[in-house]
A and B are shown apart, each in its own frame.
Chain A
Amino acid sequence: MSALVAGMDIGSTTAKCVLLEGKEIVGKSLSPVGVDIVKDAEVALELALRDARRERSEAAFIAGTGYGRYKVYFGQLTVTEISCHARGAHFLFPGTRLVLDIGGQDTKAIRVGSSGEVIDFAMNDKCAAGTGRFLEVCANALGFDIGEIGPLSLQARHPLKVTSTCTVFAESEVTSFVSRGKEPKDILAGLHASIVSRSLSLMQRVGIEPEVTFTGGVSRNEGMVLALRRRLGAPVNVSPLSQFMGALGAALAGQARCEGAAA
C-alpha cells in the first residue's frame, strides 16, 4: 500500500494542504494565513487530515512549499513553489509545457519538460503588480467582493483600457473611470486584460508552448481564464484544484523522496 504523504503550500494569504496516497488525493484543506504562520500550517494539516478521516500519525512524509515553507518545521522536505507548480500541473495535465501561476502576491511563468521538470521560469518583480492582490485592491475600489468580479467582467460590452499594472496607480485609474461614469463590468474587463498582458510578457520570456495550464488562486476567476484564452488564441487547462497545485506538487515531491528518487 502507498504511504500517505502531505504536501503543504504556505503562501502569503492562504495555507493549502493536500494528502496524497498513491495517485489519489485523499484529503485537502485551505485556510487563511495570519501572523502566526507556524500555527496556521499546523491547522492546515489538521484540517486536511480531518477531511481524509486520518490521524496525524498516519502521515508518513510531509513536504512544504510556498514562502512560508521553512515554517513547516514538522516537515521533512522543502521545495520551491516553482517546481511544485510544475509537478502538480504535470500530474493533472501531463501534456503541460507552460504553467502560468497567479497567486496573491506573485506571478510566475514556468516552462515544463515532458517529465514535469522545470526548464525555465520567470517571475514578476518584487511588487504586487499584476497579481491577485492587484485584482483584490481594484475589486475593493469598485465595491465588489473578489469572487464577484470574474463573472461580472464577462458581461462587459465596451471593455476599457487600463494602462497601469501598478496596484496603487491602477486603483486611482479605476476611481477616475468610476467618476467618469464608466460601467464597472467594462472597467473590470480592462483590469483582467491588463493582468493578462503583463502575464503574457512573462510567458513570452520563457517561451509559449501548448499545453498551457493556469494555476493559483486567480485561475479560479472565470474572467481571467477567458481573457487568457482569448489572448493566447488557444485552450488553457484549468483544474478545480488549481489553488492546490503547489501543495499537490509538494506532496508529489514528498512521494518521490519517499520512493527514493530525488525530489
Chain B
Amino acid sequence: MTGAAGAAPPREGDFLDSGRELQRRLVEEYYRGLAEAGGPQRPVAYMLVGGNLTEIVRSFGYEVVFPEIVALNCAIKHRSLENILHAEAMGYGLDVCGYVKNDLGLQDLGGSTPFGRIPRPDLLVCSFSGCYVYVKWWEALAESYGAPMFTYDVPYLREEVPYKEDIQYMVAQLWEFVHQLEKRTGRAFDMEELKRVLRETRRAEEGWARYLRAGRLRPSPIEAYFEAIFYMFPINVLRGTAQAADFYDVVNAEVERRVREGNLPLPEEKVRVLVEGVPPYTNYRTFWDFFRKWGAVSVVATYPKVGGLFDRGFLHDPARPFESIAEYSLGAYVNQSWTLRRKLIQEYLREYSVDAVVIHGIKSCRSFTAGQGDLRDWLIHDQGVPTLYIESDHQDPRYFAPAQIKNRMDAFFESLDQRRTTKAPATEVAA
C-alpha cells in the first residue's frame, strides 16, 4: 500500500535543494545501518506502514524494516520485475499484490537490493489495518523465516469518532504486545522511553503536516505527490527518531525559501491537481513528466497520508501513549471507510483549490484501489470535478503501457485546457 521513493537519484527539474539532499543521505544511512542489524544486540522487526507500532518496538531497541518501502525502492530502481518473476515461479499468481511478490521474491533471492542487503526478521509485526493481504504476506514470511509473528488487529474505521470499545480492544492488544516484547528481549518495558520516542514522533508529524499544508498556497511551493513521496521516507521509516523530526525543519525552511524566491515546482502552475492512489513506481519519472508537460502540479494527494493523516490534526500524544497509538492505527487512510475517504477528499478539494483529480489505480491491489471507480463517478457527477482514472501497477512494469497512459493524460489535460478557453462549465454530466 505505501511507501517513500527513497533512493532514486534526482535529475533535472527536481528540486535539488537541501531537503532532497538530506533525504538521500538519510536513505543511504538507513540502508547502510541495516547491513549490521539483526540478532539479539540489534534485533530487526518487520512492520507494515499503515497503522504501525514503530514507537513501541523502537523503545525496545528494535531496528525497523518496512518491506513495502524496500519493495518500492527496488521498483523505482527498475529492480522489481526480477523479484516478481521469481515469486511467480515460486507459485504466486498474476493477481497477487505486486508488493507481496516483489518482497517475497527478493527475500527468496537472498535479500540483496541496490542499496544493501536486507536483514532477516527477528520479529514480524502485522498491523492488520485495512488490507487483508497483510496477514497472508506476513504469514508467508513467518513460515519462510520461522520468525515469530504478532498480529495487531485494527478494526475498520466506519465513523469519524472511533468507538470507545475499539480503542479498549486495541490498547489491550498493545499491552499484550509489550509483554511479549519484554519476554523476547529480556528488557523491561520503559514507559518513559516510549514517551521520549513519541515526543520525537510528534515533532516529525508536526513538521511533515506543515510541509503538506504548504500546498494550499497558490501557486503551490510544493509538489504534494511526486515530491512528497520522496519526503515520506523519514515520516514512515524513521518516525520516532530525532533525525526524522530535524529533517522536516530543514524541508520547511526550504519551502519558505522557495516562497520567498519564487522557486516553484513548475515555472507556471496551470492546473492544481489532487492525486489519489499509489504511484506506478516502476515508471515514476515518466508518470511525473505526463503531469509536468501540462503545467499540472499536485497540490494535495491522499497517498502520502497512508502513514498517518497528520495534516488533519491527528498527532501522537506522549501524555496518552497507548490510546493515541490506537487512535493512530484506526485512522490509517486505508483503514477508513469510503464515506470517510470521500469526506477527506471533499475537504481537500476546497481547501487546496483543486481544479482536477487524477486517480491512479493499481491492478494488483484490491484494498487501496477498490472503490476508486465509484470515487471517479462521484467526483464527476456529484462534485463537478473533472477526474481521470488510469490504471497500471505500483510494482509490476508489465502493466504500465506508456503510450496509452500518456494518451489518456494528454486528452484529459487537453480537455481542461479547451474547456477553460471555451469557458465551458466545469462539468455538464447529468447527475
**Quick check: B380 and A120 within 8 Å, CB to CB?**
yes
Is B417 close to A, CB under 8 A?
A: yes
Measuring CB to CB, which residues of chain B are less than 8 angstroms from any residue of chain A? 377, 380-381, 386, 391, 401, 403-404, 407-408, 410-412, 414-415, 417-422, 424-425, 427-430
Using Cβ atoms and an 8 Å threshold, which residues of chain A touch B427? Answer: 119-120
- Which residues from 248 to 263 on chain A have a C-beta closer than 8 Å to any C-beta of chain B? 261-263
Min CB distance B400 to A, Å, is 10
Using Cβ atoms and an 8 Å threshold, which residues of chain A touch B411? Answer: 80-83, 118, 121
Count contacts on A: residues with CB < 8 A to the other chain. 26
Question: Once bound together, how far apart are the Cα atoms of A125 and B427, in whole Å?
Answer: 24
**Quick check: B429 and A206 within 8 Å, CB to CB?**
yes
14 contacts between A and B (CB under 8 A): A67-B407, A79-B414, A111-B428, A111-B429, A113-B425, A113-B428, A114-B424, A117-B418, A119-B428, A123-B404, A126-B404, A205-B377, A206-B429, A262-B417
17 A-B pairs besides A80-B410, A81-B407, A123-B408 with CB distance below 8 A are A82-B411, A82-B414, A83-B415, A111-B428, A113-B422, A117-B415, A117-B418, A119-B415, A119-B424, A121-B411, A121-B415, A206-B429, A207-B429, A207-B430, A209-B430, A261-B421, A263-B418
Question: Once bound together, how far apart are the Cα atoms of A263 and B414, in whole Å?
Answer: 9
CB-nearest residue of chain B to A87 = B418
**Quick check: A83 and B424 within 8 Å, CB to CB?**
no
Using Cβ atoms and an 8 Å threshold, which residues of chain B touch A79? Answer: 414
**Quick check: A83 and B408 within 8 Å, CB to CB?**
no
**Quick check: B428 and A83 within 8 Å, CB to CB?**
no
Given that A80-B407, A113-B419, A126-B404 are contacting pairs, would A119 and B429 also be in contact in the complex, using a CB cutoff of 8 Å?
Answer: yes
Min CB distance B374 to A, Å, is 11
Min CB distance B396 to A, Å, is 14
Using Cβ atoms and an 8 Å threshold, which residues of chain A touch B420? Answer: 262
CB-nearest residue of chain A to B417 = A262
CB-nearest residue of chain B to A207 = B429
Min CB distance B291 to A, Å, is 16
By Cβ-Cβ distance, the 8 closest A-B pairs, closest first, are A118-B415, A82-B411, A262-B421, A80-B411, A115-B422, A126-B401, A113-B424, A117-B424
Question: Once bound together, how far apart are the Cα atoms of A120 and B357, in whole Å?
Answer: 12
Question: Once bound together, how far apart are the Cα atoms of A207 and B380, in whole Å?
Answer: 11
Min CB distance A95 to B, Å, is 14
Min CB distance A250 to B, Å, is 12
Question: Once bound together, how far apart are the Cα atoms of A79 and B417, in whole Å?
Answer: 12
- Which residues from 53 to 91 on chain A have a C-beta closer than 8 Å to any C-beta of chain B? 67, 79-83
Using Cβ atoms and an 8 Å threshold, which residues of chain B touch A261? Answer: 421
Question: Once bound together, how far apart are the Cα atoms of A70 and B412, in whole Å?
Answer: 18
Min CB distance A257 to B, Å, is 11
CB-nearest residue of chain A to B407 = A80
Taken residue by residue from 97 to 126, chain A's Cβ proximity to chain B (1 for < 8 Å, 0 otherwise) reads as: 000000000000001011111111101011
Using Cβ atoms and an 8 Å threshold, which residues of chain A touch B380? Answer: 120
CB-nearest residue of chain A to B377 = A205
CB-nearest residue of chain A to B425 = A113
Given that A83-B414, A111-B428, A262-B417 are contacting pairs, would A117 and B422 also be in contact in the complex, using a CB cutoff of 8 Å?
Answer: yes
Question: Once bound together, how far apart are the Cα atoms of A126 and B404, in whole Å?
Answer: 7
Question: Once bound together, how far apart are the Cα atoms of A81 and B415, in whole Å?
Answer: 11
**Quick check: B407 and A117 within 8 Å, CB to CB?**
no
Question: Once bound together, how far apart are the Cα atoms of A80 and B429, in whole Å?
Answer: 21
Using Cβ atoms and an 8 Å threshold, which residues of chain B touch A82? Answer: 407, 411, 414-415
Question: Once bound together, how far apart are the Cα atoms of A261 and B381, in whole Å?
Answer: 29
Most buried by B among A67, A83, A114, A261: A83
- Which residues from 113 to 143 on chain A have a C-beta closer than 8 Å to any C-beta of chain B? 113-121, 123, 125-126
**Quick check: B403 and A67 within 8 Å, CB to CB?**
yes
Given that A83-B411, A113-B424 are contacting pairs, would A118 and B430 also be in contact in the complex, using a CB cutoff of 8 Å?
Answer: no
Using Cβ atoms and an 8 Å threshold, which residues of chain B touch A207? Answer: 381, 429-430
CB-nearest residue of chain A to B380 = A120
Question: Once bound together, how far apart are the Cα atoms of A118 and B388, in whole Å?
Answer: 12
Min CB distance B41 to A, Å, is 51
Question: Once bound together, how far apart are the Cα atoms of A33 and B293, in whole Å?
Answer: 28
Using Cβ atoms and an 8 Å threshold, which residues of chain A touch B404? Answer: 123, 126
Min CB distance B172 to A, Å, is 46
CB-nearest residue of chain A to B373 = A205
Question: Once bound together, how far apart are the Cα atoms of A98 and B153, in whole Å?
Answer: 48
**Quick check: B403 and A117 within 8 Å, CB to CB?**
no
Question: Once bound together, how far apart are the Cα atoms of A114 and B422, in whole Å?
Answer: 10
Using Cβ atoms and an 8 Å threshold, which residues of chain B touch A115? Answer: 422, 424
CB-nearest residue of chain A to B431 = A207
